[in-house]
Chain A
Amino acid sequence: MTDDPWVVSETQRARLRYRRRRTLQRGLLAVASTVVGLGLLSWLVTSAPGWITVQARYFDLDEARTALPDVASAFWLNVRLFVVAEVLILVVAVVVALVRVVPTPAMAPVRLLAVVYTDAFRGTPTLLVVYLVCFGFPALELQGVPTSLFWLGVIALTLSYGAYVAEVVRAGIVSVHPSQALSARALGLTYGQSMRRVVLPQAMRRVLPPLLNDFVSLQKDTALLASVGLVEALRAADIQAKQNFDFTPYVVTAAFFIAVTVPVARLTDWLALRQARREQGLAS
């Protein structure tokens, strides 16, 4: 500690002045170029020969008001679908990923099954899985197989996305340095304990961004269930649109999807930032 009080030097003050001026200049430039860019774009769109027709067909306020209640209540079905599916997908993904990384020779047959599952379902278009499950499962006429379209839809999405997410989780597990598992084992933790307490928590934190990315994708893909007759948001919009030959309900539906996916993306960023700050000991 010194008694000498710190008087900011003239050099430092000049630097600060310069930085402030530069920040201001750059900010103004960014604002100006954004305004010009957006202006150009909207001019381009609105001056297009078909703009009047498009405006009437896609952005009709009255149509939007009429479609809103139906689309909104149908969208609630999409929300229920993806919330239930996301929970199941996580369970399936973690189980499949674990089966694939456990080195026990006795697990070989199960491991093979897990590999076949991920390969098959990642390789099949989700729409096809939806068809196969929603039409195929009830045709089996098995006791206990759900017949409601809601649950068949959830099963189809879980099967398809479980394969993707399993690979994401596995990548996360593999990315945790072996020394972490080694020191957990050295402390006397069993394989299962070190996986659960040390490896998986770190893996899941690391894969959070790609995981939520897959979930955003899943939220949109609930619309695929429109193809088998489930009246979710897209199907509701479809019904409305075909009554008046007006596409505004589709735009309304799009707005609903954006309204749920954007917050998820922001949440991901925020979680990642909070994690980094906490573990690096930076002030939050």
Chain B
Amino acid sequence: MTGVLEVDGLRRRYGDTDVLCGIDLRLGAGEALCVIGASGSGKSTLLRCVDLLEPVDDGTVRLDGRDVTDPRVDADKVRREIGVVFQAYNLFPHLTVLDNVTLAPRVVHRRSRGEARATAERLLDRFGLGDRAGAYPDSLSGGQQQRVALVRAVATGPRLLLLDEVTSALDPELVGEVLDMVAELRADGMTMLIATHELAFARDVANRVAFLHDGVVHEEGPATQVLESPRRERTAAYLSRFRAG
């Protein structure tokens, strides 16, 4: 059985530093895998490599069984199938919320303006952003901006959603609204690869957790097992730092 995402021996090096030294991951349809690990452990790099926003130095990434790290593959077409949400929202400040959401459906997926708009409005309404459609991103709260970024990422109907520390830039009281939305998308059956520091969220939303350490997947397994009774010492040490605090 081929999964939605298969990563084999993925390597990425910056100068003399090996950030990823052979990552192996499998992600089946409808699964949510949380990647945890210390700052600088390569979580974001892994996500960017999967979306081909960074070149890989070795190894393969397969999307629905197809090797997308092959240089003959059109990376733009691969990215169309993957939605990404970044830590810093990265909304386009010169476009309204509605235009942010409809840009890719119109320009990339060649949907008509009316069709793109209808989809966008339905999604914005569903996630309580319907009244902000005409607003510009800078006039929204951080939580609202991140929810718009989530809507923007799913408006094209991606095969896979990558979430890169989507709550790390938010005030604590705004984290909940974003995580609720992610949980709702998960309930819809969206396949997700999530880099996060929110262990409680990892437990609630992910069915599997992978702990990244020294550039490899140090431990991987069902979310509750890894988070509550880790098998490896390093994983336990990392997790205990959160429990203590």
Q: Which residues of A approach B to under 8 Å, CB–CB?
A: 179-180, 182-190, 193, 197-198, 201-202, 205, 278-281
Contacts and interface: CB of A to CB of B under 8 A. Distances in A.
A202 B138 CA distance: 14
B103 interface: yes
Interface string B2-23: 0000000000000000000000
A198 B92 contact: yes
A208 B86 CA distance: 29
Interface in B63-95: 76-77, 79-84, 86, 88, 90-94
B220 interface: no
B135 interface: yes
Contacts of B107: 189, 193, 197
B127 interface: no
A278 B135 CA distance: 9
B84 A186 contact: yes
Nearest to B136: A279
B79 A187 contact: yes
9 contacts: A179-B90, A180-B90, A183-B91, A186-B82, A187-B156, A188-B77, A188-B104, A188-B156, A280-B138
Interface string B97-134: 00000011001110000000000000000000000000
B139 interface: yes
A278 B93 CA distance: 10
B152 interface: yes
A205 B94 contact: yes
B94 A201 contact: yes
Interface of B: 51, 53, 76-77, 79-84, 86, 88, 90-94, 103-104, 107-109, 135-140, 152-153, 156
A229 to B, nearest CB: 45
Main secondary structure of the interface of A (DSSP, over half): helix
Contact of A189 (B81, B93, B108, B139): B108
Contacts of A278: 136
A281 B135 contact: yes
A188 B138 contact: no
A192 to B, nearest CB: 10
A186 B83 CA distance: 7
B93 A202 contact: yes
Closest 8 CB pairs of A and B: A281-B139, A188-B80, A183-B90, A187-B104, A186-B84, A188-B108, A188-B79, A279-B136
B92 A180 contact: yes
Nearest to B91: A183
A186 B79 contact: yes
Given A201-B94, A280-B138, A280-B139, A187 B88 contact: no
Contacts of A279: 93-94, 136-139
A183 B86 contact: yes
Contacts of A202: 92-94
A204 B172 CA distance: 36
A205 B88 CA distance: 22
A190 B137 CA distance: 23
Contacts of A205: 94
A280 to B, nearest CB: 5
Contacts of B108: 187-189, 193
Nearest to B86: A183
A189 to B, nearest CB: 6
B85 to A, nearest CB: 9
Contacts of B140: 281
A111 B187 CA distance: 50
Contacts of B153: 187
B6 to A, nearest CB: 20
Nearest to B152: A187
Nearest to B47: A186
Contacts of B83: 186
B200 to A, nearest CB: 27
Contacts of B136: 278-281
Contacts of B156: 187-188
Given A186-B79, A187-B79, A187-B156, A281 B90 contact: no
Contact of B103 (A180, A185, A197, A281): A197
